[in-house]
Structures are given as C-alpha cells and as structure tokens.
Structure 1
Amino acid sequence: MKVDRSKLKKSSSEVPADCKVLIDKLKSLSTDDLCKELKDIKTWTYGKCELYHWADILDIFDAILEKSCTKENDKKWTLYCDLPGNDQLKQLLLEILRFTALLIEHSFSRHLYNSMDHLTTLLTSCDMSTVLYVLNLLYVFSKRSNFISRMNPEKKQGLVLRLIHLAE
C-alpha cells in the first residue's frame, strides 16, 4: 500500500540537503536507471531524516513491490517476480529491498512504512535471494523500532505465520 498521507504531519525538521538531492534524483529516474542508481549505493552517507521525506520514493517502491507480488492466473502459486523472463524486475526488487533496509536503518518515523503486506507475500517467493532480502529488511525493522510489535494484529499474524512456515 502506498504511504498513508493522512498520517503525514509537517515537521520542523528540514530534509538534509544530501537526502533531498538523492530523493529528487530517484524520483526522476526510469526503472532501469533506478536499479543502476540503487545498486551504486552501498553504504548510507546521506544523514538521518524523517521517513515522511521519502514518501514519494516509498510510493514508487510500493508499486514495484505490488507488481512483483502479483500472481499469474494460470500459475497461482508463482509470484510475478519469479516467472522466467522477469530478471530485470527481480534485480530491481532486490535493490529496492536492500536500499529500503538502509533507509529504515537511517530514518525515524518508521510507522509510515506501509508495504508490509507486500513483504509478507514476498516471503512466499521460490527465490531464496528474495526471501533473504525481505528477512533482512524485517530484521532492520525489528532491531530499530517497535514497528512489528505495533502492527495491526491481522497483518502481524500473517507475517508470523509466514515466518513459521519458513522455519519449518
């Protein structure tokens, strides 16, 4: 789901200049260029800022996560990102998951993140790289905030069930 703009509130904090430059750059890129740009960001050097400054980027990411999670009618168990011929989408998905983990680790107001349903679905991927990147992002959430413990009970239960299935 896209960032819930009703939860957004104006803050007195300014977007750090380097964050603003990166946000503006990422918003202007095509999907191919977005993948290349995200791949080049290995460590976080952009300062810490509120997650709501990244709402437009998170909405772009959410659309890609949603596309990756769709299931084909004739292959009900296979996620779109796992179908043959979707290598570019898979690479972009992995870069988004990796970058989002960096972003969450270096931001606050994490309660604005609204793509947990997609992450739960991606845990069903047949590609273990995807599952590992999702688990890494969930780990960042769990170590940096009480986001997971404060999730809606239904969503939290769905996540817990997926994690139990993986553990088995």
Structure 2
Amino acid sequence: MKVDRSKLKKTPTEAPADCRILIEKLKACNDEQLLVELQHIKTWNIGKCELYHWVDLLDRFDGILCDAGQTVENMSWLLVCDRPENGQLKALLLAVLNFTALLIEYSFSRHLYSSIEHLTTLLASCDMQVVLSVLNLLYVFSKRSNYITRLGSEKRTPLLARLQHLAEVW
C-alpha cells in the first residue's frame, strides 16, 4: 500500500544534501537504471534522514513489490517474481528489498513504511533469495524499532502467521 500522504506531517527539516541528491538521482531512473543504481549501493554512506523525504521512492518501490507479489493466472501458488522469464523483475525486487533494508536502518520515522502486506505476500515466494531478502528487511525493522509490534492486527496477524509457517517448515 502506498504511503498515506494525508497522514504525513510536513517536516520542518530539509533532507541532508547527500540524501537529497541520491533521492533525485533514483527518482529520475527508469527501472533498468534503478536496478543498476540500487545494486551499486551495498553500504550506507550518506546522512541519516527522515523516511518522509523518501516517500516518492517508497511509493515506487511499493509498486514493484506489488507487481512481483502478484499470483500467476491459473497458478495461485506461484508469484510473478518466481517465473523464470521474470528475471529482470526479480533482480529489481531483490535490489529494492536490500536498499530498503539499508534505508530503514539509517532513517527516522519508520512508521511511514506501508508496504508490509507485500512483504507478507513475498514470504510465500518459491525463491529463497526473495524470502531471505524479505526476512532481512523484517529483521532490520525488528532490531531498530517497534514497528512490527505496533502494526494493526489486520497486518500483523498475517505476517506472524506466515513467519510461523516458515519456521515450522525449517
């Protein structure tokens, strides 16, 4: 779900210059360029800023997560990102998940993140790279904030059920 902009409070602080430059650079990219740019970012080398400044990119990432987490027609057990012919989408999905984990770790106002239902869906992927990237992002949330415990029950319950299902299998 995209960020609910009606609930956003305009922050009086401006994003640090290095942060603002990266945001504008990523916003200007098409999907292929975005993949390349995100794959180059392995560590966080810019200032810590509010997640509020990243809302436009988070909305774009939400769309990517949504597309990747759709079920394949006539095969409800298979996600679009699991299809072999969707390698580019899977690569972009993994880059988005890994970048988002870095962003969440080095930002404030994490409560603005609103794509948790897509993460829950992606935990059902057949691809362990996808599952591990989602688990890593959830781990960052759990170690850096009380985000997961503060989720509404309509989002928290399916997430915890999916995590429990994964744990039972392993």
Per the shorter chain, which TM-score range?
over 0.9
Counterparts of 1:61-100 in structure 2, within 5 Å, are 61-100=61-100
* Kept in 2: contact 1:7–1:112 (CA 8 A): no
* Identity among equivalent pairs (%): 63
Counterparts of 1:157-168 in structure 2, within 5 Å, are 157-168=157-168
Query: In the aligned structure 1, how far is the partner of 2:51 from the partner of 2:106?
Result: 9
Where 2:118 maps in the other structure, the secondary structure is helix
Query: In the aligned structure 1, how far is the partner of 2:145 from the partner of 2:5?
Result: 21
TM-score, length-normalised on structure 2?
0.97
Alignment correspondent of 1:59: 59
Letter of the 1:41 partner, please give it.
I
Query: In the aligned structure 2, how far is the partner of 1:59 from the partner of 1:37?
Result: 17
Alignment size in residue pairs:
168
Structure 2 runs not aligned, ≥5 long: none
Moved over 3 A (4+): none
* Kept in 2: contact 1:117–1:155 (CA 8 A): yes
Query: In the aligned structure 1, how far is the partner of 2:34 from the partner of 2:60?
Result: 10
Tell me the alpha carbon deviations over residues 68-120 of structure 1, each in whole angstroms, 9 at most, x when there is no partner: 01112211110000012000100000000000000000001011000000000
Where 2:120 maps in the other structure, the secondary structure is helix
* Kept in 2: contact 1:148–1:156 (CA 8 A): yes
Cα distance, 1:11 vs structure 2: 1.4
Where 1:77 maps in the other structure, the secondary structure is strand
Query: In the aligned structure 2, how far is the partner of 1:35 from the partner of 1:94?
Result: 9
Alignment correspondent of 2:156: 156
Matched, 1:137 2:137: yes
TM-score, length-normalised on structure 1?
0.98
Query: In the aligned structure 1, how far is the partner of 2:116 from the partner of 2:107?
Result: 17
Letter of the 1:82 partner, please give it.
D
Letter of the 1:98 partner, please give it.
N
